[in-house]
Chain A
Amino acid sequence: MMRALLLLLLSLMPSVLWAQAPTPLHVEAALDRQVVAPLLARFQQLHPDIDLRYHDNSTLNVDKQARDADPAPDVVISSAMPWQMARVNEGLAQRLDSAAARNWPDWAKWRNEVFGFTFEPIVTVYRLDLARHMMPPTTHADLHTLLKTHQDLLRGRVTTYSPTGSGVGYTLFQQDARYSPRFWDLVAAMGAAQVSLENTTRNMLKGLTDGTYWVGYNLLGSYAMHWARSHPDIIVQIPQDYALVMMRMAFIHRDAPHPAAARAFMDFLLSEAGQKTLAGSTPLFSVLPDVVGPYTAQRLRDQVGERLYPIPINASLLAFVDPMRRDAFMKRWNREIRILNP
């Protein structure tokens, strides 16, 4: 009660008072600083009274910070959706009661505590070299067929996320496995092609650019499309059978030392201004259907149709972080990836 009153007082204080001593705001994010720089700059412009301290980090480190850091970060942003969900389910998030939060689409939030504020399709990326030798893959089945039929040509030239080294990769594979049992055939085929497992989309894109890899599976579309603009030999393919969509999830930490500033930041992320900046100045896509820009969920839908499958922000994500299910998944992965190797 006292806390709530204090928060109310803080939020009611005129910003003039803060001009001399800006409120610090600690954002712990698994999201490259340079990617979202325009977004952060816009926020600073709108809130000169807040001293934004943005730490980008790996998903694992962000999760560790959210659990253990003292003082806790104010806002936690991560693409490792199941872990974000697990933290919220533990009660580490606080509720955001604002117009923006209430109007946020239901499929992109949970309990009004955690919000998916980006919309990032998962894509297959290949080099133009590949197209010279074979029909480029447009679906998951195509990729499987190519891996089977051009096994020798593609050996060592396939890359994807490491399910152990990347939370995003693990989540995507889990979701893939939920949608089709033939996913494991693809894993076996990739194993047979001696797939290289990378921890980040950036590393995969670098490998593709320098010719190490010819085809990459399950890359973050936002980064890849941005990259492809300046690298004409890189082709981004949104799978035509189904395309997973990942969302960055953000929540205000329960023990946030600066909750008012944290709310201001969250409100900005969810606001039309924030989403417009996101869609217009960063490679990330906006969740809101009415935001106009090169990168919006609506525009993607127009291109790909109804084949976009956002990873749902609901309790089912918690299954992915169940230790035993994770163990079982990894056991199967390790079995399948070697199964075609002699």
Chain B
Amino acid sequence: MIVVDGTLKRRLGAWLLAAVAVLGTFLLVEAYTSAQRAADRAFDSQLEAASLTIAEAIQWQDGQPVVEIPAAAFQILATDQQERVFYTILDTGGREVTGNLDGVITDDLRQAAQSAAVWKFATYHGTPIRLYGRELKSAGWESVEPVQIWVGHTLSGRDALARDLFFRALSRFVAMVILTGLLMWLAIRTALRPVRRLRQLIRQRDADDVSPLNAQVPGELYDMAETLNALFERQREGRGALLRFTADASHQLKTPLTGLQSTSELALQSDRPEDWRRALQIVHDSSARTSRLAGQLLSLARLRHADEGTPGRIDLAAVLRDTVMEWAERDAAQHHDLGLAPLPDTPLFVQGEPWSLREMIGNLIDNALRYTPAGSVITLDLERAADTVTLTIEDNGPGVSRDLLDRLHQPFERAGRQDTEGSGLGLAIVDSIARRHQATLTVHSEPGHGLRVTVRFPLLPEEDPA
């Protein structure tokens, strides 16, 4: 049964989504922090410039710092975002020379600024601001004490710039995702086109078209197409075999029927009762053979077709003994020495159906009787190995040549002999039954030294586990 387990598109889409989600989180976090950094850099440089402008205006009069704050410094500080501006100039003692930043510059900040310029986010009456402070040591005619210049402004410009940068990065990212999605979709469509083409090709085939596929497929689909081709190949073979079998069977049935017809015609033209009697005799024999042939064909068809009957635990030794006994009493066996080698005392269980096992043994015996001259010795035997049991039938007839051995279990194969009454179905039936029992059929022959057929069954344990 074919179960639809999502679609490739959806699966690829899910992967894309997962990748975008994970990557996107990293990218956006990175974009956010870098936007903040960039905005801070841009605005910090304004603070620095304003601080420089103020520093330029500082002069010392009588050892005291005097500064005429340049108006431009405030404009630089405010930036075009109109920030609120804060500044203070502290003398060496930390007293405010001038400014509007009362109480924000702590002693710690002042001490830090003595060694290096200080950047700090602080608050002025609850409003977050950015502060920049540095110490200015100026040369002068008299000895001059250093002063500290602190400038600061509110953060709206930074926030706006950071937000702007971030949203630009975000929109670029979203555009990229959409584009990737589109490309992905196109790629999926393109990639799946060979699958659709293959499907179409198969759908368009006639029901009895078993020729190999003729298609261009990508590497990933090659195996599947190959498998399909192999399936078609097997189907073709199966169909061929079936056709051959039907043709052979018809031919086989036709021959005796033709004989029957000509015999009965001859008899009808005669007025003598003894001719009729002889003809009737012939008709009788011939129809018996035909009936047997039809029976064999039927069992072969049954065997080939399907799983009829349920297999069970069968004592192979018992079946063999019964079958041999039955055959030994038949007329056909009266001119041969049909014998059974001593069998093991314990039952030898195999998995199988009694009727097909009897059929197999019967066919083996029938074959041996038919293809050996009168007086030949036919011996059946069972040999037990560790987990197999081997059924052997051996005769001292003429045997068959080596190149015919492989073909023996094909239907209607009579080892090149057309002189017997056999149909050539015997070993084919045996082979089919052996396959059904997971047994292996081997035919061994030395020309002039008879034929040996072995069937090796898997052996069931002696005790029924059930």
Chain B residues closer than 8 Å to A178, beta-carbon distance: 71
- On whether the beta carbons of B82 and A324 are closer than 8 Å, the reply is no
Q: Kindly provide the distance from the CB of A236 to the nearest chain B CB, expressed in whole angstroms.
A: 29
Q: Kindly provide the distance from the CB of A116 to the nearest chain B CB, expressed in whole angstroms.
A: 14
- On whether the beta carbons of B84 and A89 are closer than 8 Å, the reply is yes
Chain B residues closer than 8 Å to A90, beta-carbon distance: 84, 100
Nearest chain A residue, comparing its CB with the CB of B125: A91
Instruction: Compute how far the CA of A152 lies from the CA of B92 in the bound complex, rounded to whole angstroms.
Output: 51
Nearest chain A residue, comparing its CB with the CB of B77: A315
Interface of chain A, helix or strand or loop or mixed? helix
Chain B residues closer than 8 Å to A316, beta-carbon distance: 71-72, 74-75
Instruction: Compute how far the CA of A293 lies from the CA of B82 in the bound complex, rounded to whole angstroms.
Output: 32
A32 within 8 A of B: no
Q: Given A324-B66, A324-B69, A324-B98 in contact, is the A318-B82 Cβ separation under 8 Å? A: no
- On whether the beta carbons of B66 and A318 are closer than 8 Å, the reply is no
- On whether the beta carbons of B67 and A324 are closer than 8 Å, the reply is yes
- On whether the beta carbons of B69 and A315 are closer than 8 Å, the reply is no
A86 within 8 A of B: yes
Q: Which of A88, A316, A317, A329 has the most CB of B within 10 A?
A: A316
Instruction: Compute how far the CA of A89 lies from the CA of B85 in the bound complex, rounded to whole angstroms.
Output: 7
Q: Which of B50-108 contact A (CB under 8 A)?
A: 66-75, 77-78, 82-85, 97-100
Instruction: Compute how far the CA of A325 lies from the CA of B59 in the bound complex, rounded to whole angstroms.
Output: 12
B200 within 8 A of A: no
Within 8 Å by CB of B98, from A86, A317, A323, lies: A323
A51 within 8 A of B: no
Q: Which of A313-342 contact B (CB under 8 A)?
A: 314-320, 322-325, 328-329
Q: Kindly provide the distance from the CB of A303 to the nearest chain B CB, expressed in whole angstroms.
A: 29
Instruction: Compute how far the CA of A88 lies from the CA of B154 in the bound complex, rounded to whole angstroms.
Output: 13
Nearest chain B residue, comparing its CB with the CB of A89: B84
Q: Given A315-B75, A324-B66, A324-B67 in contact, is the A89-B100 Cβ separation under 8 Å? A: yes
- On whether the beta carbons of A325 and B69 are closer than 8 Å, the reply is yes
Instruction: Compute how far the CA of A294 lies from the CA of B71 in the bound complex, rounded to whole angstroms.
Output: 35
Q: Which of A89-133 contact B (CB under 8 A)?
A: 89-91, 110-111
* Contact code string A59-98 (vs B, CB < 8 Å = 1, else 0): 0000000000000000000000000001011110000000
Chain B residues closer than 8 Å to A329, beta-carbon distance: 68
- On whether the beta carbons of A328 and B68 are closer than 8 Å, the reply is yes
Instruction: Compute how far the CA of A319 lies from the CA of B77 in the bound complex, rounded to whole angstroms.
Output: 12
Within 8 Å by CB of A319, from B66, B69, B83, lies: B69
B127 within 8 A of A: yes
- On whether the beta carbons of B68 and A315 are closer than 8 Å, the reply is no
* Contact code string B93-130 (vs A, CB < 8 Å = 1, else 0): 00001111000000000000000000000001101000
Instruction: Compute how far the CA of A68 lies from the CA of B83 in the bound complex, rounded to whole angstroms.
Output: 24
Chain A residues closer than 8 Å to B125, beta-carbon distance: 91
Q: How many residues of A contact B (CB 8 A)?
A: 21
Chain A residues closer than 8 Å to B68, beta-carbon distance: 324-325, 328-329
Chain A residues closer than 8 Å to B66, beta-carbon distance: 324, 328
Instruction: Compute how far the CA of A82 lies from the CA of B74 in the bound complex, rounded to whole angstroms.
Output: 12
Chain B residues closer than 8 Å to A315, beta-carbon distance: 74-75, 77-78, 82-83, 85
Chain B residues closer than 8 Å to A318, beta-carbon distance: 71, 74, 85, 100
Chain A residues closer than 8 Å to B84, beta-carbon distance: 88-91, 111
Instruction: Compute how far the CA of A271 lies from the CA of B369 in the bound complex, rounded to whole angstroms.
Output: 126
Instruction: Compute how far the CA of A111 lies from the CA of B82 in the bound complex, rounded to whole angstroms.
Output: 6
Q: Kindly provide the distance from the CB of B54 to the nearest chain A CB, expressed in whole angstroms.
A: 10
Q: Given A89-B84, A91-B84, A324-B66 in contact, is the A319-B71 Cβ separation under 8 Å? A: yes
Instruction: Compute how far the CA of A90 lies from the CA of B104 in the bound complex, rounded to whole angstroms.
Output: 13
Instruction: Compute how far the CA of A134 lies from the CA of B453 in the bound complex, rounded to whole angstroms.
Output: 152
Chain B residues closer than 8 Å to A88, beta-carbon distance: 84
Instruction: Compute how far the CA of A15 lies from the CA of B94 in the bound complex, rounded to whole angstroms.
Output: 55
Chain B residues closer than 8 Å to A325, beta-carbon distance: 67-69, 98
Q: Kindly provide the distance from the CB of B66 to the nearest chain A CB, expressed in whole angstroms.
A: 7
Nearest chain A residue, comparing its CB with the CB of B85: A315
Chain B residues closer than 8 Å to A86, beta-carbon distance: 100
Q: Which of B68, B70, B85 has the most CB of A within 10 A?
A: B68
Nearest chain B residue, comparing its CB with the CB of A314: B75
Q: Which of B403-437 contact A (CB under 8 A)?
A: none
Q: Which of A248-306 contact B (CB under 8 A)?
A: none
Chain B residues closer than 8 Å to A322, beta-carbon distance: 69, 98-99
Nearest chain B residue, comparing its CB with the CB of A112: B82
* Contact code string A125-160 (vs B, CB < 8 Å = 1, else 0): 000000000000000000000000000000000000
Q: Kindly provide the distance from the CB of A101 to the nearest chain B CB, expressed in whole angstroms.
A: 13
Chain B residues closer than 8 Å to A314, beta-carbon distance: 74-75, 78, 82
- On whether the beta carbons of A91 and B72 are closer than 8 Å, the reply is no
Instruction: Compute how far the CA of A314 lies from the CA of B73 in the bound complex, rounded to whole angstroms.
Output: 12
Instruction: Compute how far the CA of A86 lies from the CA of B124 in the bound complex, rounded to whole angstroms.
Output: 15
Instruction: Compute how far the CA of A328 lies from the CA of B72 in the bound complex, rounded to whole angstroms.
Output: 17
Instruction: Compute how far the CA of A293 lies from the CA of B130 in the bound complex, rounded to whole angstroms.
Output: 46
Chain A residues closer than 8 Å to B74, beta-carbon distance: 314-319
Q: Kindly provide the distance from the CB of A244 to the nearest chain B CB, expressed in whole angstroms.
A: 15
Chain B residues closer than 8 Å to A320, beta-carbon distance: 71
Chain B residues closer than 8 Å to A110, beta-carbon distance: 82
Chain A residues closer than 8 Å to B98, beta-carbon distance: 322-325
Instruction: Compute how far the CA of A90 lies from the CA of B154 in the bound complex, rounded to whole angstroms.
Output: 11
Sample of 17 more A-B contacts, CB < 8 Å, known A320-B71, A324-B68, A325-B68:
A88-B84, A90-B84, A91-B84, A314-B74, A314-B75, A316-B74, A316-B75, A317-B74, A318-B85, A319-B70, A319-B71, A319-B73, A319-B74, A322-B69, A323-B98, A324-B98, A329-B68
21 CB-based A-B contacts, threshold 8 Å: A86-B100, A88-B84, A89-B100, A90-B100, A91-B84, A91-B124, A91-B127, A111-B82, A314-B78, A314-B82, A315-B74, A315-B75, A315-B77, A315-B85, A318-B85, A319-B69, A319-B71, A322-B69, A324-B98, A325-B68, A325-B69
Interface residues of B (CB under 8 A from A): 66-75, 77-78, 82-85, 97-100, 124-125, 127
A-B pairs with the 3 shortest C-beta distances?
Answer: A315-B78, A316-B71, A324-B98
